Amino acid sequence: MQKGRRQALAVVLSQAVLGAVVAAVCYAIDGSRAGASALLGTAIGVAATTLMAFAMLRHGEGATLMRATIGFFLGWLVKVGFTVALLVMAFRSPNVEAVPLLAAYVATFLGYWFGVARLDGGPASNNDPHGRSG
């Protein structure tokens, strides 16, 4: 369970960092409105991932396979509905620029890979906490 929490935190933090980088680039290229739109895209991605992480980790280690599976799928449905609702609200706002918002939202997908890679990849992938091999 601790590994799952660490992994979820790593993913969320990676998403936030990547989204902030995209927002800074958007701000530098096109100004504050683009930067704010990118931050909104980041927030939507991070909030949805956090929601899914809570759904997946809420049952604890003693949960049955059926309960964990149902929790996963219900969490996924809530995440998708939540994301669609927030994106629709954002796109209806006249103050939001679509391209920066989507660029940052898509960047949060990369956060999944970077977050997981930080824990499971690289030299420490052999389960040695010090990164030694062999």
What does the domain layout of the chain look like in residue ranges? 2-118
pLDDT of residue 131: 47
Count Cβ atoms below 10 Å from residue 34 Cβ, excluding itself: 22
| Cα–Cα distance for residue pair 74/51, rounded to 1 Å | 11
Q: Average pLDDT for consecutive 10-residue bins of the chain (134 residues)?
A: 75 91 96 96 94 78 79 87 95 95 93 74 49 44
Contacting residues for 116 by C-beta, under 8 A, at least 6 apart = 7, 10, 11
pLDDT of residue 93: 94
> Quick one: residue 132, left, alpha or beta (phi over 0 = left, psi -120 to 50 = alpha)?
beta
Q: Are 18 and 110 in contact (CB under 8 A)?
A: yes
pLDDT of residue 119: 67
pTM: 0.79
pLDDT of residue 127: 52
